[in-house]
Amino acid sequence: MDRDFLIDLFADFGPVTIRKMFSGFGISADGTNFALALRAGLYFRADDQTIPQFEAEGSQPFQYQTRTKTVTVNSYWQLPARLFDESEELADWARAALAAAQRAALRKRPKVRKAAKPKISSKAASKPAVGRKPAAKRRAAKARKAPRR
């Protein structure tokens, strides 16, 4: 699958962003990735609400092989082949996949950043800050004192 084919495929769905990813493309809308177009096929994001629909069509979850095992990714399921010819129904499946991806994003906890501790060098810690010029003024004063060439 190439980029132009994917743009045409999602024409009834609406505008999508297609980016190179792994051995194919990641497909997103509104900043949310909801599909993968790989050599093995087109995979849509799925969750507990949409997996039964994929199972009813006989689809399988995305799988890949490592040196030691087969890894199954249950969050992406292969799009039924019949939908490549049914653009309106494909758009409905794409909307459901986007909704599943958005639900998954809501379930993720935001990363909590720890407050950074201020770093104090031993030289600065030994001298009082009172009466010192700000760093920018010190640099400017040094530049004025430097001999010109």
Quick: pLDDT tens for 52-74: 999 999 999 999 889 999 999 99
Between 71 and 111, where is the model more confident? 71
Q: What is the mean pLDDT of residues 106-134?
A: 65
Cα distances (angstroms) measured from residue 114 to each of 107, 111, 119, 121: 21, 10, 15, 21
What is the Cβ-side half-sphere exposure of residue 136, based on CA atoms within 13 angstroms? Answer: 0
Cα 26 from Cα 54, distance rounded (Å):
20
**What's the token pair of residue 99?**
């909704």
